[in-house]
Structure 1
Amino acid sequence: MDKPLPPASRDPVVLTAQESSPSVIFPSFTATTAWALGLSLRERILALPSSQRRPALISISLGGAHPAPHVVFQCATEPGTVADNEEWVRRKRATVLRWGVSSWLMRRKVLAGLVAGVGGTGDDEGRERREREMEKEVEGAFVRKFALGASGGWGAPADEYAIHGGGFPVRVTGVDGVVGVIVVSGLRQEDDHQVVVETVREFLGES
């Protein structure tokens, strides 16, 4: 039976609270954990209705090494993924490792800064309209904010990072920082994010 995903939050404050919630903090995380979680993610994606389901690549890595992470689980959910999915996985993972937050939260934080900068009415409708207008500016704002120059320049190349939903940090109780990264690439970016959040919560709730 189709099991649709609820919409991902777009509020940076809510997203920040979600990522620090005990519901997404692992008691431990090993290659065995990654295998079981990866299979749960694949099963969840395959249960999506046709309006949300697309071929996707799931990748789970350990450690903070970049650009050579220790990938302990990776699979395509079904035929139809392409080599570009691998590039999106790499770039989303790099964003999580550098800034320690999900790639979706990073996008929403940059977008919130743009919207605040243009001012205007404070009602929900006005804010949503400004967000739609600013979406085309968010990538450039991200590059400028973190001084991500072109290859050979100061800082890291802009194409090393992606602020599209789907990269999510693995945190473990009692351990500082990010110990791994879960990435989904292939769905709509907000669904890439939400399927990870929902699956991690259910996985930990059953553990």
Structure 2
Amino acid sequence: MSLEDDLRIVALQEQRLLFDRFGPAEAWDLGRRLKEAAESRRATLAIDISTQMQQLFHFAMPGAAPNNADWIRRKRNTVLRFFRSSYGVGLQMQQRQTTLQAAYALEMTDYADHGGSFPLVVKGMGCIGAVTVSGLPQREDHGLVVEVLADMLGQDRDGITLAP
């Protein structure tokens, strides 16, 4: 797939994967689902679900490194700044042939445009937080989050799944 195809699909993901409501119970369910999906793939991840004001779920699987928590923080910062997935922002930077630092004066010590963080959007409210994973290659981190969100929200994955 081309960069333009990926950008189009990520935009569809961001438009379709919306919650009617989101609070601690939904965070727990989403976190549990992500953990189970990672285990079924024999993946080692750190998982974080945070609103703009509060961390609701955090889990580091056995074997996850402390560095994963820093990647989570940086990817989450990107989502909360742009209200877009960190992977979508990274693809956009790639398309524009620039970086977050060059385009927005954002330090890479605080922002990462790598896949794995996705906006938590509540219908009628907008982006209220982010769900973030770290531990797989960035496209796989992004794909795992999208897959679990789609299943949790009862969304058909046809048309919103990136090619491997």
Residue 29 of structure 1 corresponds to which residue in structure 2?
A: 22
Residue 60 of structure 1 corresponds to which residue in structure 2?
A: 49
Pick from 7, 14, 22 the counterpart of residue 19 of structure 1.
14
Query: How far off is 1:142 after superposition?
Result: 2.5
Asked whether the equivalents of residues 31 and 72 of structure 1 are also in contact (C-alpha less than 8 Å), the reply is yes
Deviations 1:39-84 (A, max 9, x none): 0011011111xxxx4311000011x24xxxx11111123x111111
Matching residue's letter, 1:47:
S
What is the rounded CA distance, in whole Å, between the counterparts of 2:105 and 2:31 in structure 1?
A: 34
Asked whether the equivalents of residues 10 and 108 of structure 1 are also in contact (C-alpha less than 8 Å), the reply is no
What is the rounded CA distance, in whole Å, between the counterparts of 2:130 and 2:13 in structure 1?
A: 16
RMSD: 1.7
Residue 106 of structure 1 corresponds to which residue in structure 2?
A: 89
Give secondary structure in 1 for the equivalent of 2:81. Answer: helix
What is the rounded CA distance, in whole Å, between the counterparts of 2:109 and 2:5 in structure 1?
A: 24
Give secondary structure in 2 for the equivalent of 1:28. Answer: coil
Structure with the bigger percentage of strand: 2
Residue 116 of structure 2 corresponds to which residue in structure 1?
A: 166
Task: Report the TM-score when normalising by structure 1.
Answer: 0.69
What is the rounded CA distance, in whole Å, between the counterparts of 2:150 and 2:72 in structure 1?
A: 21
Q: Displaced runs of 4+ in structure 1, greater than 6 A?
A: none
Query: How far off is 1:18 after superposition?
Result: 1.6
- Equivalent residue runs for 1:54-93 within 5 Å: 54-62=43-51, 64-65=52-53, 70-77=54-61, 79-93=62-76
**Structure 1: tracts of 5 or more residues without a match:** 1-8, 115-137, 149-156
- Equivalent residue runs for 1:1-207 within 5 Å: 11-21=6-16, 24-48=17-41, 53-62=42-51, 64-65=52-53, 70-77=54-61, 79-114=62-97, 141-148=99-106, 157-175=107-125, 177-205=126-154
Task: Report the TM-score when normalising by structure 2.
Answer: 0.87
Matching residue's letter, 2:20:
P
Aligned residue pairs total: 152
What is the rounded CA distance, in whole Å, between the counterparts of 1:191 and 1:158 in structure 2?
A: 21
Give the % identical residues: 37
